[in-house]
Amino acid sequence: MGRHTPLFKLHQELGARIVDFGGWDMPVQYSSQIGEHHAVRRAAGVFDVSHMCVVDLRGARVRALLQQLLANDVAKLKTPGKALYSCMLNERGGVIDDTIVYYLSDSWFRAVVNAGTRDKDLAWIRRHAPACGVEVTERTDLAMLAIQGPEGRAKAAQLLTAADAGAALALHTFVGREIGGWFVARTGYTGEDGFEIMMPAAEAVPAWRRLNSLGVASCGLGARDTLRLEAGMNLYGNDMDEGTQPFESGLGWTVAMEPHERAFIGREALAPIARGGSPRRLVGLVLTDRGVLRSHQRVVIPGGGEGEITSGTFSPTLERSIAFARVPADTGAAVQVDIRGKLLNARVVKPPFVRSGQSLIGSSKGPS
Amino acid sequence: MSTVPADLRYTKSHEWVRTLADGTVEVGITDHAQHALGDLVFVEVPEAGRTVKAGEPCAVVESVKAASDVYAPLAGEVTAGNPRLGEAPETVNTDAYGEGWLMRLRPAPGALTGAALMSAADYQKVLEAEGG
């Protein structure tokens, strides 16, 4: 038996199919994975993301710690509440994890890290924190709900008092703050607008039931995966890991090489790649033949060379298969993918595939 | 609770077999199997003329999440793959025992009588043992 979030019994009661995810027993779907996906693209859905690890970092030199631990630069965070997406790298430039950090005050940052990497992340952070006098607290007392979709914010605001709802709806993109005893952030992992809300564990079940009664669909990790892939968002462990660096993982934009005197962990390993370019890159693929792209399938580059699919699925919005693939940097506009011994044709595109309900990949007839 | 029609025969790997009037058999996956797989988005069926052995993977059903093999319940020659499933793989979800059939086979001599197929009652017991 795996670990359980405060919502586990409710998921069972709602008829969810439960699977292991990074050591946690989590709902993969309630009724139809495709139905849940469309609910988020067209209206609103709620996900239990309480398995993710919320870490509070407190201390006068917390900013210095994060400037060392993160490849992106928390100096970009100038107003309290603002969030930053970043990789945490090892000395070789490999990705230990990706995280979102919120700047709450000059002595308090909050990081959200992945469930499956919780133990190694905490060990890594705790190894470096004492030198900066930073106290590290895992917030196991909190549950986290993600309410996503074009109607997500308006529905979630109905969980709050009128004054608090106004404050929540006034949040800008990628900003979070304490509202009515909850931490409400306008962030997500679906390519739709919405909130991620951290709340005391005991309040999660009534909040979920209320959202259901407002017409917000219960959504599982299955839909979360197809939504994030359409939205062009990486999944740790699939699309990057300790053996790959950000520039070959579509995450070069998150590495702040300037200012050059900031000595973040992994910087020395990345410097030649940042200057000279990465030999491989992560691209989007759209399958033009019939079939389904899956991780680890072999990508065949016309004229020579190979790559590999890191995440692949059927896109419910585009009604065709899409993927991320790591390929040689000079790969052109078309490739083939080996699916059970057959070479099928795919177009190379720049993710995201879908944003705010709209397809971004153009015609399905070929390169435009 | 999944449906198990009494007039069909079954395999442990959740295929069903229907004997047709012309002596060929129709093969599909059970209601239990389609439910466990979830929404199907791609189905690959064998081409007519292919010879299959009992237990050989001969079709693939793919849900959003994963690809799964379908095994030939008995030896024979494929007479047809269901052409409808190319455009409408979800038919397997909505009508697993009818329009969602995967292939038709002409059994090899003795294959139908010799095949290790279960009655509906025995298949029901397999499902109960699996907790389904």
pLDDT tens digit sequence for B99-116: 999 999 999 998 888 778
User: What residue of B is the nearest CA neighbor of A227?
Assistant: B64
pLDDT tens, position by position, A300-345: 999 999 999 999 999 999 999 999 999 999 999 999 999 999 999 9
DSSP letter at A61 equals T
Q: What share of chain A is helix, strand, coil (3-state, %, to 5)?
A: 25, 35, 40
CATH number at residue B51: 2.40.50.100
> Does residue B8 form part of some domain?
no
Q: A194 to each of A157, A175, A187, how far by Cα in Å?
A: 10, 11, 6
What proportion of chain A, given as a percentage, has pLDDT over 90?
Answer: 97
Q: Note the pLDDT of residue A368.
A: 35
**Are the C-beta atoms of A111 and A76 separated by less than 8 Å?**
no
Contacts of A29 in chain B (CB under 8 A): 38
For residue A88, give both structure tokens: 């945490």
pLDDT given at position A361? 86
- Note the pLDDT tens digit of each residue in B53-99: 999 999 999 999 899 999 999 999 999 999 999 999 999 999 999 99
User: A347 to chain B, minimum CA–CA distance in Å?
Assistant: 19
Rounded to the nearest 5°, which phi and psi values hold at B76? 170, -170
Asked if A292 and B62 come within 8 Å (Cβ–Cβ), the reply is: yes
Residues of A in contact with B62 (CB under 8 A): 291-292, 314
pLDDT band at A365 (very low <50, low <70, confident <90, very high): very low
From chain A, pick out residues whose CB is under 8 angstroms from the CB of B44.
Answer: 291
Residue B118 covered by a domain: no
Q: Kindly state whether A316 is in contact with chain B, defined as any CB-CB distance less than 8 angstroms.
A: yes
Exposure string for A119-148, b = 16+ CB within 10 A, e = fewer: eebbebbeeebeebebebebbeebbbbbbb
Mean pLDDT score, B112-131: 90
Q: What domains can you pick out in chain A, each with its CATH number? A: 1-276 (3.30.1360.120), 279-368 (2.40.30.110)
Q: Is residue B11 part of a domain?
A: no
The pLDDT score that the predictor gives to residue B51 is: 97
Across the interface, of B42, B64, B67, the residue whose CB is closest to A290 is B42
Average pLDDT over residues B23-44: 96
| Length of chain A measured in residues | 368
Q: What does the mean pLDDT of chain B come to?
A: 94
Contact B103, B82 (CB under 8 A): yes
CA gap A346, A238 in Å, rounded: 20
Distance (Å) from the alpha carbon of A313 to chain B's nearest alpha carbon: 6
> B64 vs A28: CB contact, 8 Å cut-off?
no
Between chain A and chain B, how many beta carbons pairs sit less than 8 Å apart? 36
- Tell me whether residue B128 is in a domain: no
Give the tens place of pLDDT for each residue, A241-269.
999 999 999 999 999 999 999 999 999 99
Residue A284: name the closest of A333, A355, A245, A218 by CA: A333
Best of A18, A30, A33 to disrupt the B interface (most B CBs within 10 Å) is A33
Q: Structurally, how many domains does chain B consist of?
A: 1
Distance CA A1, CA A10 (A): 17
Maximum CA pair distance of chain B? 38
For A276, the token pair is 């000279």
pLDDT at residue B1, rounded to an integer = 64
Nearest CA in chain B to A18: B36
Check CB contact of A313 with chain B, cutoff 8 Å.
yes
Residue B9 falls inside a structural domain: no
Q: Is residue B12, in this structure, part of any structural domain at all?
A: no
Instruction: Tell me which residue range forms the domain holding B38.
Output: 23-113
Using a CB–CB cut-off of 8 Å, the residues of B that contact A are: 38-39, 41-42, 44, 60, 62-67, 86
Q: Using alpha carbons, list the distances in angstroms from residue B31 to A182, A327, B34, B37.
A: 44, 40, 5, 10
CA distance A311 to A225: 9
Mutation site, B39, B45, B58, interface A, largest A CB count within 10 A: B39
Amino acid sitting at position B38: G
Q: Which residue has the tokens 């509202």?
A: A179
The amino acid at residue B74 is: L
Asked if the structure places residue B5 within a domain, the reply is no
Classify residue B126: in a domain, yes or no: no
